[in-house]
Amino acid sequence: MTEMKALGEDPWVPQACTLPTVERPLRLAEFDDLFASAVVGVERVDRLRVRLELRPEPTVAGRAADLVTRETGCCSFFTFTFTLTATGGQLALDVAVPAGHVDVLDALAARAGLQDVA
């Protein structure tokens, strides 16, 4: 398990994060906004992967892509994969981590709205 740094009331920033401390609340707010405004479903695919179902809109896809691209710059252990099913009107973002960062994935899933992350 990775050590966590406190960040507000729901810590989920690992020690490996290289984002400057002053920028972390802003990044957290960006994720919270994405979760609140664009996520329509959260599924725990397996121990190392969570799927976020997003509203299938170009602006949502662009905003999410920008955010996760920046996130991999400071937390390179994340793997983000988008799946767009154009004929079915579905947009999904899979978030995967190596086994050593499952606690971070658990916290992200809980923050996104998944009730049972175990």
Is residue 25, in this structure, part of any structural domain at all? no
**Which structural domain range is residue 51 located in?**
40-118
pLDDT in tens, 4-22: 343 343 446 666 777 877 8
pTM: 0.83
pLDDT attached to residue 19: 82
Domain with residue 78: its CATH number is 3.30.70
107, amino acid identity:
A
Is residue 4, in this structure, part of any structural domain at all? no
Is residue 84, in this structure, part of any structural domain at all? yes
pLDDT in tens, 41-56: 999 999 999 999 999 9
What's the number of CA atoms in the CB half-sphere (13 Å) around residue 67? 21
Pair of tokens at residue 97: 């981590």
Is residue 11, in this structure, part of any structural domain at all? no
Q: How many domains does the chain have?
A: 1
